[in-house]
């Protein structure tokens, strides 16, 4: 892929680890995803989408969910990561959706590929990566048919969910909060757009924002079966982001939590929860 990628390429796309995390996210937060697709269903009730573009598709959670929801639609999955797109193609085959989705590899910071006209654009956790959002939104607008819908989904300034109680029974209380604080400093520097209000840029790019909805996700036991693995994958990723700035005691505690076989392992804990906040903007091209 060359080294021309921006700093986020390495942080966000370390191949299979990230793919696994995205798949687990989709599995654990399936109800949230259903709420968002229901909202799209309501907003497109008079003309269900026939062509759907997933911008920064990752492993395809968005486009594959939408293709199941809209049975007559075809999808385009666009991502700059070839490995993600291969993973997506495998998933589509497993679900019997491979004839209805095609993959396009492109880096939106350099080119907007020829895609034809689409009815719905889904951009989940991808807009904060873009170097020039105004230009990308202009490209999206040009690709959408008049009356078409753009769904922008973003996480808070803290993109990782929280899972642990304040006191995990080992080490000093507040470990997860300290990890997130370190992560937030780093994100503010490298991803200034994370946690932005996308309403004004959408309006500026010529969209009409029809709905802005904040989803407060707070899952309590009984939790989806994959929650332990989701917590483990998330905390692993957090560890690699903060290990050089976390003190030795906290690092040791984190490793106890990440150890798959230990009694304190997140895979065995019964006190996990899933707490995160996400916002959806539904914007129409007039």
pLDDT of residue 240: 93
43 alpha carbon, distance to own chain's centre: 22
DSSP strand E in 107-164: where? 118-124, 144-155
Picking from 146, 57, 154, 145, the residue whose alpha carbon sits closest to that of residue 101 is 57
pLDDT of residue 15: 62
* pTM (2 d.p.): 0.88
pLDDT of residue 196: 80
Structure tokens at 65: 């969910």
Task: List, in sequence order, the alpha helices (H) in 74-174.
Answer: 82-94, 133-143
Residues 6+ positions from 100 with CB-CB distance below 8 Å: 67, 73, 74, 75, 92
pLDDT of residue 194: 67
pLDDT along the chain (286 residues), means of 10: 34 66 92 96 97 96 97 97 96 96 95 95 91 94 98 82 96 96 82 78 96 95 96 94 94 94 92 95 98
Picking from 84, 43, 42, 44, the residue whose alpha carbon sits closest to that of residue 64 is 84
C-alpha 163/C-alpha 28 separation (Å) is 12
């Amino acid at each position: 892929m060359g080294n021309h990628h921006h700093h986020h390429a390495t942080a966000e796309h370390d191949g299979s680890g990230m793919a696994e995390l995205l798949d687990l996210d989709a599995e654990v937060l399936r109800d949230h995803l259903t709420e968002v697709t229901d909202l799209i269903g309501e907003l497109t009730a008079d003309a269900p989408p026939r062509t759907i573009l997933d911008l920064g598709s990752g492993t395809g959670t968005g486009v594959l969910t939408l293709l199941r929801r809209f049975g007559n639609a075809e999808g385009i999955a666009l991502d700059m990561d070839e490995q993600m797109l291969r993973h997506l193609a495998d998933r589509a085959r497993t679900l019997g959706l491979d004839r209805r989705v095609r993959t396009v590899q492109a880096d939106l910071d350099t080119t907007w590929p020829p895609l034809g006209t689409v009815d719905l654009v889904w951009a989940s956790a991808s807009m904060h990566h873009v170097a020039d959002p105004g230009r990308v939104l202009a490209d999206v607008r040009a690709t959408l048919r008049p009356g078409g819908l753009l769904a922008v989904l973003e996480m808070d300034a803290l993109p990782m969910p929280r899972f642990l109680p304040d006191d995990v029974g080992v080490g000093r209380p507040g470990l997860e909060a300290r990890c997130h604080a370190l992560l937030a400093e780093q994100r503010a520097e490298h991803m200034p757009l994370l946690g932005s209000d996308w309403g004004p840029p959408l309006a500026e790019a010529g969209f009409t924002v029809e709905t802005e909805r904040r989803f407060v996700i707070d899952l309590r036991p009984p939790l989806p079966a994959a929650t332990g693995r989701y917590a483990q994958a998330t905390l692993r990723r957090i560890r690699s982001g903060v290990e050089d700035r976390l003190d030795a005691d906290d690092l040791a505690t984190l490793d106890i939590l990440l150890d798959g076989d230990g009694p304190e392992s997140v895979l065995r804990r019964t006190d996990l929860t899933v707490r995160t906040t996400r916002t959806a903007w539904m914007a129409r091209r007039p």
